[in-house]
């Protein structure tokens, strides 16, 4: 196989926000800059959410301001509403992300409104972002399973993804929030979504709760997806599933992609070293199998 695959690093946001220990602003800035030094060009650096509910993301505006701009690198942030977008704009953010759910039960329990209402709330957010020249990425959570409602039909996930795309999101990240997905289910999901919006606008976001994340990345690759979210050292976790091991590790995704002949522009051994360092700082195990192996071997090797 050959071709380029985009890797979106979500560790500094989706990863750190689920870690018990909150890092100071300087450490978060240093982490993002070090990730950019490895060749990662799309990095989610923060979230403009209530620090009362997500204290790990407090001062995201300061993080974005200190990062400044790097040619060819996009630092993005999650925004839940127009107030969050305005704070992101004030910090000089050039790309933001909004989120919806494919499960009605999850939407009600998570943000206290229906899926339809959540999408309507994003209309002014997307309009303001368009006016200010800021790109918007969309997340759809619980695309395969819901902690409250069980399995989610791929058609339902496709409908929400289509609506976000129609609202103006340039890319839609399909999130297996519980990590219960399997390769067959992933392939069906991509197939249904690709009937509603361009395949090039789809991204995969897999959690590794049941050890299926890399297999699901492979299945999505085979179905034509060429953008994947991942988190350094598997940072993060799923707060809705006890024992969830979190996001798929960037090191594991890179190992798969490079081994299959895809280009990413990312230095895997450098990412592995960062994964070891951040895991030690947070006092947690490194969830990346490839990262642990590379750290022990001292480099990247393929047969």
What is the third-level CATH fold of 6-297? Answer: TIM Barrel (3.20.20)
Mean pLDDT of 171-188: 96
93 catalytic? Reply is no
Per-residue tokens: 244: 């969830």
pTM recorded for the entire structure: 0.95
Domain ranges, ordered by start, for the chain:
6-297
**How many CB atoms neighbour CB 261 within 10 A?**
10
Mean pLDDT of 226-252: 82
149, 110 Cβ separation under 8 angstroms: no
What's the CA angle centered on 168, arms 162 and 174, to 5 degrees?
Answer: 45
Cα(284)–Cα(69) distance, rounded to whole angstroms?
31
pLDDT surpasses 50 at 302: no
pLDDT in tens, 137-159: 999 999 999 989 999 999 999 99
Cα(256)–Cα(284) distance, rounded to whole angstroms?
24
H or E element in which residue 136 lies: strand 135-141
pLDDT surpasses 50 at 303: no
pLDDT at 68: 81
Q: Which residues contact 277 (CB under 8 A, 6 or more apart)?
A: none
* C-alpha 85: how far from chain center: 18
Task: Select which of 93, 146, 193, 238 is catalytic.
Answer: 238
């Amino acid at each position: 196989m050959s071709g380029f695959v985009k890797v979106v690093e979500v560790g500094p946001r989706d990863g750190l926000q689920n870690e018990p220990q909150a890092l100071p602003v300087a450490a978060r800035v240093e982490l993002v800059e070090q990730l950019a030094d490895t060749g990662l060009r799309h990095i989610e650096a923060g979230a403009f959410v209530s620090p009362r509910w997500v204290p790990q993301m407090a001062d995201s505006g300061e993080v974005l301001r200190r990062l400044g701009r790097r040619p060819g690198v996009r630092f993005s942030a999650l925004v839940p509403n127009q107030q969050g977008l305005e704070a992101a704009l004030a910090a000089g953010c050039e790309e933001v992300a909004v989120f919806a759910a494919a499960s009605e039960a999850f939407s009600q329990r998570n943000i206290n409104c229906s899926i339809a209402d959540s999408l309507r709330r994003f209309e002014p957010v997307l309009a303001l972002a368009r006016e200010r020249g800021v790109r918007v990425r969309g997340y759809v959570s619980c695309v395969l399973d819901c902690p409250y409602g069980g399995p989610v039909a791929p058609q339902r996930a496709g409908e929400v993804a289509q609506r976000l795309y129609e609202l103006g999101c340039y890319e839609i990240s399909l999130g297996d929030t519980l990590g219960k997905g399997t390769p067959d289910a992933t392939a069906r999901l991509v197939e249904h979504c690709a009937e509603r919006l361009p395949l090039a606008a789809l991204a995969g976001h897999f959690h590794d709760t049941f050890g299926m994340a890399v297999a699901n990345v492979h299945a999505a690759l085979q179905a034509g997806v060429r953008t994947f979210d991942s988190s350094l050292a598997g940072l993060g976790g799923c707060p809705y599933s006890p024992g969830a091991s979190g996001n798929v590790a960037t090191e594991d995704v890179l190992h798969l992609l490079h081994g299959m002949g895809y280009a990413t522009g990312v230095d895997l051994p450098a990412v592995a070293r960062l994964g070891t360092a951040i895991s030690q700082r947070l006092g947690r195990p490194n969830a990346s199998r490839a990262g642990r192996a590379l750290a022990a071997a001292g480099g990247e090797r393929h047969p």
